């Protein structure tokens, strides 16, 4: 096989188009086409880059008689272990779809993946999975997205050990609507809950707090309740609920009406 034929063969095995290979090497698609047709010859630095990309030796690329990528010409059968190893390495190589969607490859699997569906150490896409994932829907140790799930998660809807966003759930949750072991938000639910409206084992609120130990203007507790306007231990009677609703309507500002509505449903 000629150098051009080997370049074409390795490119196709990696599922790259001529244009994609050209972008990686910093040359035009036409240059790749000329190389593969043996019309032109790659420069030395491009050969070195291709050797690393294709995981092959320079002897393999330069010598027409060598067909083994390691550069050793042998007719001996490759061992079963070596076949398995090579197959595994092939499967782990970068994969990129030639089909485009919204200006991105339909899928991209690789270390730095960018595609509609992206999976990699660093992944960016509409759907992204990776150690560091950024996307509309993202899953990763560090995850950023509209819907975000991860160890550290930031998003419109975020789920994670540490979650920050609008609607969040996690061991430590910070958001407008937050739920977690430690929860901080406008409306918060958690073992330790802090917010304008809070519910939890220890609930610290501005307007209303409901929990085992509750502290707020309106405090409703099982064991202890400290309220500057109203405090109550145990379940609320119908008359008590009516008073709480009436007070909330009179004192909670309009911009918190959504939070007030959620808490009205919570207290029943």
Tokens of 258: 């959504």
Q: What is residue 268's predicted lDDT score, i.e. its pLDDT? A: 80
Classify residue 165 as left (phi > 0), alpha (psi -120 to 50) or beta.
Answer: left
Which of 65, 93, 121 is the last residue in one of the domains?
93
pLDDT digits (tens, 9 = 90+) for 118-147: 888 889 998 999 888 999 899 888 898 888
- The model's pLDDT over 152-161, given as tens digits with 9 standing for 90+, comes to 898 889 988 8
Of the residues 38, 73, 93, the one at which a domain ends: 93
Establish if 259 belongs to a structural domain.
yes
Show the low-confidence residues of the chain (pLDDT under 70).
70-94
Report the C-alpha gap between 188 and 214 in whole angstroms: 13
d(CA 143, CA 162): 11
Query: Domain total for the chain?
Result: 2
The radius of gyration of the chain's CA atoms, rounded to the nearest angstrom, is 30
Residue at 242 is within a domain:
yes
Is the residue at 134 inside a domain? no
So what's the pLDDT on residue 83? Answer: 55
- Asked whether residue 143 is assigned to any structural domain, the reply reads no
Residue 129 lies in a domain: no
Residue 75 domain flag: yes
Residue 106 within a domain = no
| Alpha-carbon separation of residue 215 from 79, 207, 218, 234 (angstroms) | 72, 9, 8, 14
Structure confidence at residue 213 (pLDDT): 94
Q: Would you say 234 and 224 are in contact if contact means Cβ atoms under 8 Å apart?
A: no
In the chain the beta strands, taken as DSSP E runs, fall at 95-96, 100-101, 104-105, 107-109, 112-114, 117-233
Residue 229 lies in a domain: yes
Rounded distance, CA 243 to CA 56, Å?
78
Q: State which residues form the domain around 12.
A: 3-93
* CATH number, position 35: 1.10.260.40
Q: Which of 93, 121, 153 is the last residue of a domain?
A: 93
């Amino acid at each position: 096989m000629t150098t051009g034929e080997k370049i074409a063969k390795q490119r196709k095995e990696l599922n790259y188009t001529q244009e994609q290979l050209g972008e990686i090497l910093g040359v035009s698609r036409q240059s790749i086409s000329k190389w593969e047709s043996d019309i032109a010859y790659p420069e030395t630095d491009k050969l070195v880059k291709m050797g690393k990309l294709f995981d092959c030796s320079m002897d393999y690329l330069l010598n027409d008689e060598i067909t083994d990528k390691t550069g050793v010409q042998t007719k001996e059968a490759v061992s079963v272990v070596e076949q398995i190893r090579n197959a595994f390495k092939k499967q782990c190589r970068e994969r990129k779809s030639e089909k485009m969607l919204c200006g991105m490859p339909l899928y991209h699997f690789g270390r730095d993946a960018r595609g509609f569906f992206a999976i990699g150490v660093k992944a960016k896409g509409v759907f992204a999975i990776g150690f560091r994932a950024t996307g509309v829907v993202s899953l990763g140790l560090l995850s950023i997205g509209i819907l975000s799930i991860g160890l550290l998660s930031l998003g419109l809807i975020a789920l994670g050990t540490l979650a920050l966003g609008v609607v969040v759930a996690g061991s430590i949750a910070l958001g407008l609507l937050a739920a977690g072991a430690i929860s901080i938000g406008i409306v918060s639910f958690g073992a330790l809950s802090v917010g304008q409206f809070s519910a939890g084992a220890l609930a610290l609120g501005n307007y209303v707090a409901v929990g085992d130990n509750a502290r707020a203007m309106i405090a409703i507790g099982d064991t202890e309740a400290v309220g500057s306007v109203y405090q109550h231990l145990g379940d609320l009677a119908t008359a008590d609920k009516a008073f709480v609703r009436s007070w909330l309507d009179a004192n909670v500002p309009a911009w918190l009406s959504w939070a007030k509505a959620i808490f009205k449903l919570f207290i029943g």
